Structure 1
Amino acid sequence: MTKSVRMTVFALLAVVAVILGLTFNKFTQSPPLDRETLRDSGVFIFETPRTFSMAPLVNHENQSFSADNMKDHWTLLYFGFTYCPDVCPTTLAKLNELSLELQELNSELAKRFKVVMVTVDPQRDNPAKLANYVPFFNRDFVGVTGDMANIYELTRQLNVAFTTVGDTTKDDYLVEHSANVVLVNPKGDYHGFIRPPLVAVQLAKNLQAVDRGF
């Protein structure tokens, strides 16, 4: 084999190696974060995450819960109440399904997502009440309560609406509230939100894309 032929063969082999490498990357690397596609499935990601502040609240173990508790991991923040007849238990059950799907998809990914329910009914939802309710859906879920003024200020910043319906001097009043799940990124910023219905299998894949694009 002449020198020129050998050089031609080596050049062709190099080209083939590049093509194979590009093909491998195409099938093994996650696709770029596509906000429009995510939006179509109910996941809304802001172009620029929004900062917010919060006065300390307390979790269902009666320990302080502050903004620092939502750093270094993703937080799926849901606002509801334990007396909720339908939406809240359904949402928490779906978030539990999501946790199981994330675990199935990638155990390390699952560790990076925490679920927190902040009550919009602190008059009835004290730590003990939350402790009997929130961990029922998943023992790793955290329930949070505290002063109503502090909760209201937090919901205002996170675009979560709620209003009390009925006589609050009786124990059968309800609270109408947004059903969106707020997404807080590992820096502790308001990253976006998720609209129901929550389809666990698809949402797990979407959150994987969000995590990889962070």
Structure 2
Amino acid sequence: MNDLRRTRTLLALLVAAAIAACSGGAGEGDAPPGPPPLEDAAMGGPFELTSETGETVRDTDFAGQYRLIYFGYTFCPDVCPVDMQKLGQAMRALEERDADLAARVQPIFISVDPGRDTPEVLTEFTDSFHPRLLGLTGSPEVLADMVQRYGSYAEIPEGQNAEGYLVNHSNNVIMYGPEGEPLVNLDMSASPEDVAAEIDRWAS
């Protein structure tokens, strides 16, 4: 019950942060936007997952980099492909806007469906959207713990046909800082250029 309450609280915080980022962020050339919306959120933490190439990947591997973390699955019929297409476009816009900053931003797609999302499937999926989009996954137990700690939600229904089940999940792209600190829930309803500007805004 405490876990469920904590998850709901984090999701509510993410919604509030998204609203704040949309309404109160600074534009290009404006004064600094102030503290990031998720500055005090109890989110994130260490992890150990498997990459799309089969290698072990830890949170410490991204030290010094901004991380854009999304939980989803490749068999998602609509939401995940749309979000990853937008994220890929935003990364290209950021590369044009500030190539040095873009090189320090790592987009990460974490599959919560390890039964179907093999390394080969993950590679094909991520390569479709941006060459630097990294696919990760892990055991169901590890993923369940990480999803909760990172303020997201995912649930694979039991007893479903292995070929056709759907996964209920949140679709937040959360930006974390160089030390793994949560910064902002990116507004993925905005244009790719505006998403790139938002990344630039919160990168110190």
TM-score strictly above 0.5: yes
Match of 2:180 among 185, 188, 204: 188
CA contact (8 A) 2:89 2:192 kept: yes
CA contact (8 A) 1:81 1:119 kept: yes
Q: Residue type of the partner of 1:136?
A: S
Q: Residue type of the partner of 1:77?
A: I
Report the identity percentage: 24
Deviations 1:139-197 (A, max 9, x none): 11100011111111111011101122474343100001101111111012223322431
Q: Residue type of the partner of 1:31?
A: A
- Unaligned segments of structure 1, at least 5 residues: 1-27, 36-43
Return the alpha-carbon distance in structure 2 between the equivalents of residues 99 and 207 of structure 1: 9
CA contact (8 A) 2:43 2:151 kept: no
Distance 1:132 1:105, change over 3 A: same
**TM-score, normalised via structure 1 length:** 0.75
CA contact (8 A) 1:179 1:195 kept: no
Return the alpha-carbon distance in structure 2 between the equivalents of residues 137 and 92 of structure 1: 6
Which structure shows the bigger proportion of residues in strand conformation? 1
Shift of 1:49: 5.7
Q: Which residue in the other structure is 1:76 paired with?
A: 68
Q: What secondary structure does 1:117 align onto?
A: strand
Q: Which residue in the other structure is 2:78 paired with?
A: 86
Q: Which residue in the other structure is 1:163 paired with?
A: 155
Q: What secondary structure does 1:45 align onto?
A: coil
Return the alpha-carbon distance in structure 2 between the equivalents of residues 176 and 52 of structure 1: 21
CA contact (8 A) 1:77 1:181 kept: yes
Q: Which residue in the other structure is 2:49 paired with?
A: 57
Match of 1:206 among 194, 198, 204: 198
Q: Which residue in the other structure is 1:119 paired with?
A: 111
Deviations 1:80-127 (A, max 9, x none): 101001111101100111011101111111112111000011111121
Return the alpha-carbon distance in structure 2 between the equivalents of residues 209 and 188 of structure 1: 17
Matches within 5 A, 1:134-149: 134-149=126-141
Return the alpha-carbon distance in structure 1 between the equivalents of residues 47 and 97 of structure 2: 35
Return the alpha-carbon distance in structure 1 between the equivalents of residues 97 and 177 of structure 2: 20
Distance 1:131 1:159, change over 3 A: same
Shift of 1:55: 3.7
Q: Residue type of the partner of 2:64?
A: D
CA contact (8 A) 2:43 2:150 kept: no
Residue 32 in 1 paired to residue 9 in 2? Answer: no
Q: Which residue in the other structure is 1:109 paired with?
A: 101
Match of 1:99 among 91, 97, 108: 91
**TM-score, normalised via structure 2 length:** 0.79
Return the alpha-carbon distance in structure 2 between the equivalents of residues 146 and 58 of structure 1: 6
Q: Which residue in the other structure is 1:128 paired with?
A: 120
Q: What secondary structure does 1:144 align onto?
A: strand
Deviations 1:6-62 (A, max 9, x none): xxxxxxxxxxxxxxxxxxxxxx96521156xxxxxxxx7223364633341111011
